[in-house]
Amino acid sequence: MIYYYGVSLPGTYHAKHGILCQDAHKILPCGKYMAVAAVADGLGSAEYSDIGSKIAVKEAVEYCQKKLIAKATDDQVKEIIRLAFHTAQRAIENEAKTKDHLIEQYDTTLTLAVLIRDTLYYGHSGDSGMIALTTHGRYEAVTQQHRDEEDRVFPLFFTDKWEFGRFSENVSAVMLATDGMLETFFPIYIRNKKENIHVSWAQYFMDNRGLKIDKLGREKVQAGMMDFIEKIPAEKVNDDKTITVLVNTSVKINWKRQPKEYYQEPDWEELKRKHDEAWRRQAYPELYKVWRD
């Protein structure tokens, strides 16, 4: 059985300055063992991006729910997701045209997941992202952020940047997050390491041993997560905060495949010390220069 929850909340900066939440999410079940979820993050520089993000998730998710069938092939599922992205983009263009606005005023990202039993398909555009919990007990990044050399986001309008695929591992859960929340799972102190996901943090949101969503119910879990996310301090996240999670509780996970250390909290003080020292070496090489005869 696939259970789910989703939260979208305005960031502390937006709340303080009376700016609407520019994030949106939507989740729709398609029977017991199939579900569709999407998140979108309206660009802060676009005047109507909050509308663009809402249109994007609604149109894309509803299109997938309407077209998906349980026995669809890989190619068919990926094609449905691709057409869902086109449907979302056309709907945004129609909204802009109807209101006599520029399409750029509705710029938004869009990331979408289709979970069929233990198989994950995805579509992705922009700097939101997706993390999967595999049946081997690992937390893996499914997508990478789409930004240019100057760190500017490629929104949905850039159709040549769209990415579609089937994730290579079998999964029991998948989480989608907009960039404000997404980057908390990739702390700067481990971002460039092979194991670059904050595993214990991801566990809190995705591991049903803690969530107990099949026992507590979606509404209770969602209310608890909303309260928790709302209280995340501004120093950690000041952007809008969106998380959506799909959990297939019937998929078994072999937790013993990973060593205990994999799930333990890192030594953040030591990681910070090494990070700061590496930065100082780069910024002030003359202080660390080794003199030889």
Which domains are present in the chain?
2-267 (3.60.40.10)
- What does the alpha-carbon distance between residue 223 and residue 211 come to, in Å, rounded to a whole number? 12
DSSP assignment, residue 188? T
* Residue 216 in this model has a pLDDT that exceeds 50: yes
pLDDT digits 0-9 by tens, 225-238: 999 999 999 999 99
Q: Which helix (H) or strand (E) holds 258?
A: none
* Residue 11 in this model has a pLDDT that exceeds 60: yes
Mean pLDDT of 118-132: 98
- What does the alpha-carbon distance between residue 241 and residue 170 come to, in Å, rounded to a whole number? 27
Reported confidence tier of residue 291, pLDDT bands at 50, 70, 90: very low
Mean pLDDT over each residue of the chain, to the nearest integer: 93
Q: What ranges make up the beta strands (E) of the chain? A: 2-9, 23-29, 34-41, 110-116, 119-125, 129-134, 139-141, 163-166, 171-177, 241-248
* Residue 290 in this model has a pLDDT that exceeds 60: no
Which tokens is 147 given?
């930004």
Which tokens is 107 given?
């710029």
Mean pLDDT of 63-74: 94
pLDDT digits 0-9 by tens, 257-279: 999 999 999 998 998 998 888 88
Reported confidence tier of residue 292, pLDDT bands at 50, 70, 90: very low
* Residue 18 in this model has a pLDDT that exceeds 50: yes
